[in-house]
Amino acid sequence: MSTPATSARTSGPQPPPPAGSAGRGPLDSRDPRRDRDPLGVRARARRSTVLLVLLAVATVISLVVCVGIGPVSIPPGTTAQVIAGHLGLTGAPAADPTTDAIIQAVRLPRVLMGAAVGACLAICGAALQAMVRNMLADPYILGVSGGASTGAAAAILFGAGAALGQYAQSVLAFVGALGAALLVFAIARAGGRVSSLRLLLSGVAVGYALTAVTNLLIFSSDSAEGSRSVMFWMLGSLALAQWNAFLLIAGLAAGLGIAVMTLGARVLDALSAGDEIAHGLGISPDRARIGFLVVVSLCTAAAVAGAGAIGFVGLVIPHLARRLVGARHRVLIPASALLGSLFLLWADALARVVMAPRELPIGVITAAVGAPFLLILVRRLYARQS
């Protein structure tokens, strides 16, 4: 039978516990990385960076692949070689003249316009959802779509702006879109301050009024073909994309919008939290809304003038981007731009082949994808409130 002294001699002196292990049980094995980043800020930043890089790579690959999709299929390798040849990266021509012409003159400007328009609509939707604090806001709540449709209908049906030649439709659509945005701004500011509710209601009212004007123009026209062209334009299409000023304007608008909204991400975060929070952070909500309204109007007008009124992109894509990278606009804006480009590129590719040789309006594709997503969004909103 062992005594306490015997037990002490056999057990011997115990080594001291390792530093930092006081109070830590055998199952308490904390990750030291969590101690260095207790709130997970760095981990989220790394994850967001990886996602942005992956989206950028996917967008570049999609640009090359979507050029080859159409009634005449072209392998991605041939497309890449032709693009490299026109950029001066290779000397010898990579394809026959017909294939080169299809890529260079028809499809490349089309996919570039699609990428720019998708980015413009997506970032405008993300900014407007923060400005008016409404998850169902999209770029067309400013009445821009109605104004652009009125301008395009006047050009197609009655020859307005005929002196501009082939640019008449796009120019009048751009002017109509900007005019609608200015009218919304004037109405929203009539009370002295541009609140989110006043901006939202003004945009809806102006949009409905201009849509009525467009329908009146269609009804007053005697041209069945012209009316069909207007309806096709109102559903959106990239078929008219060319190497012209409107492709450059759309690209510049996308780049400018991404830069301005990313730099103003802190302001958008404050607006999305409410006017009281913004005031507490030293931000004037009215001035911020006016500044972002100008940028959003220009970007949306450039997108609509180049591709028509393509719906659901500005509504659906920002919500998908939030699911991926969170609600911080510093990351949300570039993520929305890349997702918008990806979405519109593949929607346009599908529109080219689903009813070939006829081309389906791209707005039909975006609506077919966006409407179910909107129903899911409404259902989740209802479940959250109940």
Q: CA–CA separation, 285 vs 373, rounded Å?
A: 30
Residue 267 pLDDT class (50, 70, 90 cuts): very high
User: Any idea which of 11-15, 222-226, 272-276 has the lowest mean pLDDT?
Assistant: 11-15
Whole-prediction pTM:
0.84
Give the pLDDT confidence of 21-50 residue by residue, as tens digits. 444 444 445 555 555 666 566 777 888 899
Mean pLDDT of 335-363: 90
Helix (H, G, I), strand (E, B) or coil at 25: coil
Helix (H), strand (E) at residue 326 = none
Compute the half-sphere exposure of residue 142: CA atoms within 13 Å on the CB side of its CA: 38
* pLDDT over threshold 70, residue 2: no
Q: CB neighbours of 18 closer than 8 A, spacing ≥ 6?
A: none
User: Any idea which of 8-17, 296-305, 372-381 has the lowest mean pLDDT?
Assistant: 8-17
Helix (H, G, I), strand (E, B) or coil at 212: helix
Residue 306's pLDDT is 85
Give the pLDDT confidence of 307-324 residue by residue, as tens digits. 888 988 999 999 999 988
Residue 331 pLDDT class (50, 70, 90 cuts): very high
- Please choose, from the candidates 26, 108, 101, the residue with its C-alpha nearest in 3D space to the C-alpha of residue 65: 108
Q: CA–CA separation, 319 vs 134, rounded Å?
A: 12
- How far apart, in Å, are the Cα atoms of 291 and each of 123, 287, 298? 15, 6, 11
Residue 25's pLDDT is 47
Q: CB neighbours of 78 closer than 8 A, spacing ≥ 6?
A: 68, 94, 95, 99, 103
Helix (H, G, I), strand (E, B) or coil at 78: helix
Give the residue extent of every domain in the chain. 63-100
- What does 33-69 look like in DSSP terms, one character per residue? HHHHSTT-HHHHHHHHHHHHHHHHHHHHHHHHHHHT-
Q: CA–CA separation, 250 vs 299, rounded Å?
A: 7
Residue 341's pLDDT is 96
Q: φ and ψ at 282, to 5 degrees?
A: 80, 25
Q: CA–CA separation, 345 vs 340, rounded Å?
A: 8
Residue 373 pLDDT class (50, 70, 90 cuts): confident
> Nearest 5°: CA angle at 347, between 346 and 351?
115
